[in-house]
Amino acid sequence: MIRIAILGDIGSGKSYVAKQFGYPVFNADVEVTELYRKSRKCYSKLKKILPNYITSFPVKKIELLKAIMTNHKNLKKIVKIIHPEIRNRMNNFIKKNRRKKLIILDIPLLIENKLNKKNDILIFVNAKKKEINKRLKKRHNPSVKILKKFQLPVEVKKKKADFIIENNFRNNSVKKNVKRILRKILLDA
């Protein structure tokens, strides 16, 4: 099985690019949201460590954000609970799709959390800062600034990448780039 990991800055279009490959995608952001919405186990653990912030089930991201803004050490507490769960879900996804020729990993902090393997094919999604900022403003997500602190600089990720996809937020150019890269990967496999 070939593992392709999608890298890039917040708002660069990683999830969109990941879907264009047409193979199973593990999207860590979706999994985290689902944990907050459906896992009573995570809720109980978070409530225990952050009783002043977590008020009800399902867990609300805004409550977690308040906890982090009040004390940055709270982020480490949250990560200790959430990351093992996400790692577990990722491993289950990989097992479930082990017979597939290819899988896509859309994990924002893949390299930072050492989730990548030596043979993974790393694809960096490059986009203009101006376009990214425009997209991020639409999201109204104050956690973006916090998340940026934990990401490696874009240049570091770009250097580690095997391929770079330029995302000008026009569907055709991304689709063409994905097809070209996919052909090359499958030819070399």
Helix (H, G, I), strand (E, B) or coil at 3: strand
Cis before 108? omega within 30: no
Cα torsion for 55, 59, 61, 66, to the nearest 10°? 20
In CATH, what number does 1-24+98-189 get? 3.40.50.300
Which amino acid is located at 4 in the chain? I
> What does the domain layout of the chain look like in residue ranges?
1-24+98-189, 29-96
Cis before 58? omega within 30: yes
What confidence tens digit (pLDDT) does each residue in 12-58 have?
A: 889 999 999 999 999 998 999 999 999 999 999 999 999 999 989 99
Instruction: Report how far Cα 60 is from the mean position of its chain's Cα atoms.
Output: 19
What confidence tens digit (pLDDT) does each residue in 67-121 have?
A: 988 888 898 899 899 989 999 999 999 999 999 999 999 988 777 777 778 889 9
